[in-house]
A = this chain, B = another copy of it.
Amino acid sequence: MMLRLERDSRTPLYLQIRNQLREMILDGTLSEGSRLPPERKMAAALGVNRTTVVNAYRELAADGLVEGHVGRGTTICRPPLSSSPQSPTYLPPHPLVWSEYFVPRTEGSRDPLLRDLMALLTRSDVISFAAGIPAPELYPLDDFQQAMTHVLNAAGQTFLQPCPVEGYYPLRQTIARRMARRGATVRAENILIVTGSQQGLDLIARAFLRTGDEVVVEAPTYLGALHIFGAVGASLLGMPLDEEGMRMDVLENALVRYRPKLIYTLPTFQNPSGCTMAPRRRLQLLELAHRHRVPIVEDDPYGELYYTDQDPSPLLALDQDGYVIYLSTFSKILFPGLRLGWVAAPRPVIERLSQIKQLADLHCSTLIQGAVHEFCQQGALDRHLERVRDLYRQRRDAMLAALAEVAPAGLEWDEPQGGFNLWCRLPAGIKARQLMAEAARQRVALVPGEVFYPDGGGQEEMRLNFSYPPIAQIPEGVQRLGVALTALLKKRKWVEEQHDVEFAAQPIV
C-alpha cells in the first residue's frame, strides 16, 4: 500500500492518511472485506505516531468505510464509488434539517389571528376596514409617471447607478426643507433615506438593542415595531394612553425602574389608536427623556395627514438637545409599494445607521429616490396631500356618521384628527376576536386591538381603517359591522339567560 505524506502540508497527517485510504476504498483499490494493516505496523511504515493512524482509522470508521473489531483488525466495509460521473459521491441522499441550522428567534410565532385576517382581505366581497394603506384609487399616477419619465429621460444613467448609502442628496435636501416647514430644523446631512420606516426601525433596533434591553412603547402601538423589537430580544414596556397620549406618570415610573434603552412613540395620529399627544405631554416627554437620558424614537408616518386646520409639528421640532430620532415614510402619503422613507437624527446616529444600512442593502434604489425627488420638486406631493387630506377627512366623517347611526349601545369610539385609523372600545364582554369572525360572515374586516399590545390587553378594542375603503362602501361596511356586533350581543344575552335558567333550575343539594 502506497501512501504519500507531505509533512509540511497544512492538512494534518491523520487526514492525509484518511483521505488517501478513502480514495483507495472508493475507487476499489481496497476491496470490501479486505483488511487495513494493523495500526502499529502502519505507523511504523509511515514513520508517524501510532495515534495518528488510530485517528485516521477512526475517521474512516465514522464515515462507514471500515469497521474495527478487537482481535480481527480493521476491515473495509463500503462498496467502491459508483463509476458514473454524474454521482461522484457514495453518500446516500441526506437533506439538511434546516431548522437545526437557524439562529433561534426570540419573537413568538406568527399570530394565527393575523393569518386569518390576511386570508379575509384577499376576498373581493369583503369591505375592508383592516388595511393600513392609502386608497389606491387616489394615487397621483399621472404626476408620478411624469416624474419617472423625466428622470429616466434627463439622466437615466445617473439614476440607474449606485448612490451613497445615506441617499440621493437632492432628495435629502428636499426632505429637510419639508421638515423645516413643519417646524423641525434639520439639515440634509441629518437625513438618511431608508426603504420605508420599517427599515428605519430595524436599523435602529440593530444599532441600539440587545437581548434583554428594555424599550418603552405605547400600548397599543405599531405592530411592526412590536415584531422588530421582539425579534432582537428586547423586553417591551407598554405605556397606557389616555386622551392626551402616553401617560407620563407611568412613563416616569418605567424610566426609573427599568432604565429602558429607547422610548418609541407615535405622537401624532397614532397607529392604531388615532390618538395625538397633547403639547404639554410632548414637553413632559422630552423633559423625562432628558432627565433620564433616554433617546426617543418618534415614528411619524401620518403627521401630514391632518383633517383640521392644524398642521401638527413633530416632537422633533421641540427637541433642543437632540434626543429624538425621527422616522417617516412616503408609504402613507404617497405609495406603499415604493419602499421609501427616511430617518432624521443627530449626525452620530445617522453615521451609525448608515454603517448598518451599508451592510444591509448598500443603499435605496436610486431610481425610486430620483423619481420621488422630481415628484416633490414639481409640487405634486403638496397638491396630492391637499387633495387626500380633504378626501380622507370625508371618509373619516362618513365612518363617524355611520357609527353614530347604527352602533349598538356600549360601542365607543374616538374621533381622530388625522391619520388613517379610528379606535373603538367594544361593549363589555364582547371580544374583538369574536367580532372579527362574526364580521367576516357579514363580509367586513377589522383588526382586533390585541395584536397592537405588547403584553396582553386590547381584547375588547378594535381598529377601523377609513383610508382604504371607497367612501361609498363605508356606510354599508359599518352597517354590516353593526349587524355582526348586534348578533354577538344577542348571543351574549341568550347565554346569560340560559345561565340564569340553568342556575335557577338546579336543584339545591
Contacts and interface: CB of A to CB of B under 8 A. Distances in A.
Contact of A15 (B87, B96, B253): B253
A196 interface: yes
Contact of A10 (B10, B159, B250): B250
Contacts of A11: 249-250, 252-253
A249 B98 CA distance: 26
A163 B336 CA distance: 9
A169 interface: no
A410 interface: no
B133 A157 contact: no
B94 A321 contact: yes
Contacts of A366: 337-339
B10 A101 contact: no
A377 B363 CA distance: 27
Given A136-B160, A337-B159, A320 B361 contact: no
Given A11-B253, A249-B9, A365 B368 contact: yes
Given A96-B322, A366-B337, A157 B145 contact: no
B133 A156 contact: no
Interface of A: 9-12, 15, 19, 59, 63, 87-89, 91, 93-96, 98-99, 101-103, 105, 133, 136-137, 139, 141, 144-145, 148-149, 152-153, 156-157, 159-163, 194-196, 198-199, 202, 206-210, 224, 227-228, 231, 240, 249-250, 252-253, 256-257, 261, 283-284, 286-287, 290-291, 293, 295, 320-323, 335-340, 346, 348-349, 352, 355-356, 358-368
13 contacts: A10-B240, A88-B283, A89-B287, A95-B346, A102-B352, A103-B206, A160-B338, A161-B337, A162-B336, A199-B360, A202-B360, A227-B359, A339-B361
